[in-house]
Amino acid sequence: MNNKKTTWRDDEALRRFQLISPLMDENLDISKKLAIRKQISESHNVSLRSLYRYEKAYSEQGFIGLKPQQRAQFNVTESFHELIQECILLKREVPLRSVNQIIMILEMEGRVAPGVLKRYTVQKHLARAGFSKAHLKKYVQASQSP
């Protein structure tokens, strides 16, 4: 499986290089490069911004810079459920505490490595547990009404 991912990354880097290779000619003036970029963009359905990024990556890092970055892979452990429960407890303690603050607290306490918990994931689990903004707003309104 890892070999397939490596092959895909290499193939994508090759495709990107083939897209920008007409732009590598140092004799081209700025207006000619822009015209070529627009033509490549339209014919290959790639944004101009992407072409600029590919050119920059190639000039700074060479062919390796054109490879898509690998995503970090984390193993979901048995402690994930415990971490989510800890997030719920932190939110229950201080309902105004943001998801980012909850993640930062867990990271600073050493309960989880930095970058492992993602904001969206924690937010989703908090919402399932009844701690979304909409839920909290209802609780506040219910407690304020006579």
Q: Per-residue pLDDT tens for 104-141?
A: 999 999 888 888 888 998 999 988 888 877 766 666 66
Our measurement of the distance from residue 48's CA atom to the centroid of its chain's CA atoms, rounded to an integer in Å, reads 21
Span 76-101, pLDDT tens digits: 566 788 888 999 999 889 888 899 99
**Which pLDDT score, from 0 to 100, does residue 60 have?**
93
Q: Of the candidates 10, 22, 28, which has an alpha carbon nearest to the alpha carbon of residue 51?
A: 22
What pTM, to 2 d.p., does this model score? 0.50
**Which pLDDT score, from 0 to 100, does residue 76 have?**
56
- As a whole number of angstroms, the distance between CA 31 and CA 38 comes to 11
Q: 100, 119 in Cβ contact below 8 A?
A: yes
Q: Of the candidates 85, 114, 90, 116, which has an alpha carbon nearest to the alpha carbon of residue 102?
A: 90
Position 94, amino acid = V
